[in-house]
Amino acid sequence: MKGYLQLESGDIYEGNWLTNHILEDVSGEIVFFTGMTGYQEVLTDPSYKDQIIVFTYPLIGNYGINEEDFESNRPHVAGVIVYEANEEASHYQAQYTLKQYLQKWNIPLLSHIDTRSVVKKIRNSGSMPALLTKSYPKEINVPKLCEDNKVSKVSTSQFETFGAGSIHIVLIDYGKKESILSSLLERNCKVTVIPYHTSFQMIRKMNPNGILLSNGPGNPKNLQSHLPTVKELITHYPTLGICLGHQLVALSLGGNTKKLLFGHRGANHPVKDEKNNIVFMSSQNHSFYVDKDSLIGTNLKGRFYNLHDQSIEGLVHDYLPIQTVQFHPEANPGPAEGAYVFDEFLNMVKENNRSNVAYA
């Protein structure tokens, strides 16, 4: 069955609508991911909530979908665009093909779209609203993007504790990836995952040794009303902020975030760590970034930089034990070269315990 991708710019692409029983049109912000593998992790990363994802690698689905590599309990993308979708999954762990999995969750999969051309459009004009439809669009009817609070759609509603280590980390769930939790558990932490709107007083009662502010979907400025809590947390506890968490730390201390033209989404973004004077490859998924000039007077300083566009990839604080990263140290998908950020964070937490800094 034919299907169409319409961009806000007016461009229309014809492809094959593979998830046949899904009849409705879907709309969302169109973004692209450049990794050759890792589509399962991308589909289930809550930071992709409501986005239409274009995979640039021309053959997606070879190894199917398995039970091991989910980053959350369901896919979050609004729609999926590929050049070719492999309908036979050849991997011993595969439980579904890509199409079966998306069909199960009512998410349209459109193939044989000229993904190169779509990506060139996005690179020139920026991430934009797009529509996936089964009937040829006769007029421009791409809905505007909805600037809602997407974090509220993906954060947990429960308090849950994992692991039994002596270091207790409270993980604030703005739409966390499972790999962030497992990165802490592998390092023998006790981790309590909590809803994003939990108050400072309640977190304080949990007596954490450190705070991890997770990744999450949408514009960080949609969480304006939560910034006072973030500020209170980071001035009382050693903190690691990842992606959205990094952006919230910057906003809460008076910095500013802006939107990139087309975002960073892939598994090979080179990052420079100026503290250790090394360059490594990182996994990334973000549209927003912290504006360097806005940090003047905040006591936050850049430590990590993206070598493609020099944008900030991580911050440290002049005197508080705060570390933030825009990239994904938990990888999945992509290289784990930045995983030492978790070790540094836990060393910072232990050091803080030892010196017992009298924060408040």
Ligand X SMILES: NC(=O)CC[C@H](N)C(=O)O
Taking the alpha carbons at both ends of the chain, their separation in whole angstroms is 63
Q: Point out which span in 73-81, 191-199, 269-277, 286-294 binds ligand X (CB under 6 A).
A: 286-294
Residue 72 CA to residue 102 CA, distance in Å, equals 15
**244 forms part of the interface with ligand X (CB under 6 A):** yes
Q: Which of 288, 327, 342, 345 binds ligand X (CB under 6 A)?
A: 288
Tell me if 243 contacts ligand X by CB under 6 A. Answer: yes
226 is catalytic: no
User: Tokens standing for 60?
Assistant: 């997606």
Beta strand residue intervals within the chain, DSSP E: 2-7, 12-17, 26-33, 51-55, 59-60, 79-81, 84-85, 109-111, 128-133, 160-162, 167-173, 189-195, 210-213, 239-242, 257-273, 278-290, 300-306, 312-317, 322-325
- 217 counts as binding ligand X under rule CB under 6 A: yes
For residues 307 and 294, give the distance between their C-alpha atoms in angstroms, rounded to a whole number: 20
Out of 115, 252, 283, 287, the residue judged to bind ligand X by CB under 6 A: 287
Among 6, 27, 40, 47, binds ligand X (CB under 6 A): 47
Q: With binding defined as CB under 6 A, does residue 262 bind ligand X?
A: no
Is residue 283 within the footprint of ligand X (CB under 6 A)?
Answer: no
**Please, which residue, 140 or 261, has the CB nearer to ligand X?**
261
Exposure string for 328-354, b = 16+ CB within 10 A, e = fewer: bbbbbbbebbbbebbeebbebbeebee
Residue 33 binds ligand X (CB under 6 A): no
What sign has the CA pseudo-torsion 124, 125, 126, 128? negative
Q: Which is nearer to ligand X, 18 or 290 (CB)?
A: 290
The answer to whether residue 189 is catalytic is: no
Instruction: Choose the stretch contacting ligand X; rule: CB under 6 A; options: 82-90, 199-207, 211-219, 304-312.
Output: 211-219
75 interacts with ligand X by CB under 6 A: no
Q: Which residue from 119, 101, 85 is spatially nearest to 13, judged by alpha carbons?
A: 119
Question: Does residue 216 have a known ligand-binding role?
Answer: yes
216 is a site residue for ligand X (CB under 6 A) = yes
Please report, as ranges, the residues that interact with ligand X according to CB under 6 A. 47, 215-218, 243-244, 285-288
Could you list the residues known to form a binding site for L-glutamine, using ranges.
Answer: 47, 216, 218, 244, 247, 285, 288
Catalytic residues: 243, 328, 330
